[in-house]
Amino acid sequence: MNCKLCNINEADQTGSHVTSAFLLTSQIGKRDFERGFLLTTDPTQDYTENKKADDIKEDNIFCRDCEKRLSFIENYYSTEITQKIENPNFKPNFETIKSKNSYYLQCKRIDPIAFHLLIYSNIWRASISTQPIYNHFKLSSVIESELQFLLDLFLPNTVDHKINIGLNNWVKDVRNCKDFFTVFPYIILKAENLENKDQTYEFFDNITHNPNHIILNEYIILSFFGKTEWVDDFFQLRDEIEITDLINDNTEICKVGVLPNDRFLKIIEMIRNLAVEDRLRKLEKVCVLELAIHGIPINQENVKKLMDIKVK
Ligand SMILES: [Zn+2]
């Protein structure tokens, strides 16, 4: 199979992280000490099983060269954003601007195109992945190939399997080509400062489209690939934030909106409750069926008894 990014080389890379590795460090622990629990709405799935990072890795989607190209942008983002955004020593790198109910950070030390590429690469990888956790999340094939084109065009190339352009020169090249860069608008929001980042997880909603509702670690991404008109409001943020302040829609500025911790955790809790409800509904059906097979009267009491046994 050919690499899904360059479409030329054989996809010989194993263990590609579908979500950028740096985003996962605080979420599931360092490599080889990874801890990941998959919560699906399938009632028979054991969500207490430690699956490490298996669910978010995939073999043979990229070639070794493209894996390096993706890492290049991840390292840049990680150095300028992930490692500094909560560190008071680097406050001057982020300009704080007040907005409705909260504030946002304008990131001054990363090129906005690089920032956008990193975000797009994560959404695109989730869309092309066939791992169960991302299976239901699918962009349209037109958007998928536009993102692939953009990433392939702008990520640095390899020579003899090495990236031999320095960061500064790459940024210069990117700036020179900015007119060829298509911006798909999105909002990225960050929980202000979560002490326990183990609680957060990955979530790609399969129903909402305008915007897509995505959670990656302590970040919420709302991406608009159609019109920048906010239609779906699954996280109920539309009336709470000022879209015109927070939207990333050009190649000159990139910004991260900040959500108070409790507001972020409320969204996580809502998703968890919905998943639990859905599991219980499905479990109820399983129990009714089992009672019927065994000729036991189907009534609320018997269904509940059986459900209690299965939930334990
Ligand atoms: Zn490739």
What pLDDT sits at residue 133? 74
Model pLDDT for residues 116-147, shown as the tens digit of each residue: 999 999 999 999 988 877 777 889 999 999 99
Q: How far is the CA of 147 from the centre of ligand 1 (A)?
A: 14
Q: CA-to-CA distance for 20 and 15, rounded, in angstroms?
A: 12
Q: How far is the CA of 5 from the centre of ligand 1 (A)?
A: 5
Give the pLDDT of residue 58. 85
Report how far Cα 91 is from the mean position of its chain's Cα atoms. Answer: 25
Span from the CA of 47 to the centroid of ligand 1 (angstroms): 34
- Among the listed ranges 87-91, 162-166, 279-283, which one has the minimum average pLDDT value? 279-283
The letter for the amino acid at 96 is: T
Q: Is the pLDDT of residue 82 over 70?
A: yes
Q: What is the pLDDT of residue 307?
A: 86
CA distance 200 to 205: 15
Token digits for 291? 């009672």
Separation in Å, CA 159 to CA 68, 110, 164, 226, 295: 11, 25, 7, 36, 69
Residues 250 and 147: their CA atoms lie apart, in Å, by 16
**CA–CA separation, 237 vs 102, rounded Å?**
12
For residue 121, the CA-to-ligand 1 centroid distance in Å is 14
Q: Is it the case that residue 107 has pLDDT exceeding 70?
A: yes
- Residue 190 C-alpha to ligand 1 middle, in angstroms? 31
What is the torsion angle, in degrees rounded to the nearest 10, for the CA atoms of residue 166, residue 170, residue 171 and residue 174?
180
CB atoms within 10 A of CB 303: 18
Query: Alpha-carbon distance 200 to 26, whole Å?
Result: 9
Q: By the 8 A CB rule, do 123 and 148 touch? A: no
How many whole angstroms separate alpha carbon 211 and alpha carbon 287?
Answer: 37
> Edge to edge, what strands does the sheet with 102-107 contain?
94-99, 102-107, 255-259, 186-191, 219-223, 212-216, 203-204
Q: What is the pLDDT of residue 37?
A: 42
Amino acid at 120: Y
Task: Give residue 62 CA to ligand 1 midpoint distance, Å.
Answer: 5
- Whole-prediction pTM value? 0.84
CA of 168 to the centre of ligand 1 (A): 23
First to last CA, the chain: 44
| pLDDT tens column, 150-159 | 999 999 999 9
Distance 66 CA to ligand 1 centre (A): 4
* Identity of the highest mean pLDDT range in 30-34, 137-141, 276-280: 137-141
Dist. CA 157 → ligand 1 center (Å): 10
Q: Where are the beta strands (DSSP E) in 60-146?
A: 94-99, 102-107
Specify which residues 204 forms β-bridges with.
Answer: 214
The mean pLDDT of the chain is 86
Q: Is pLDDT of 259 > 90?
A: yes
CA distance 123 to 220: 12
Q: Residue 99: how many CB atoms within 10 A of its CB?
A: 16
- Of the CA atoms within 13 Å of residue 265, those in its CB half-sphere come to 11
pLDDT band at 304 (very low <50, low <70, confident <90, very high): confident
For residue 37, report the distance from its CA to the centre of ligand 1, in Å: 30
CA of 156 to the centre of ligand 1 (A): 12
CA of residue 163 to ligand 1 center, whole Å: 13
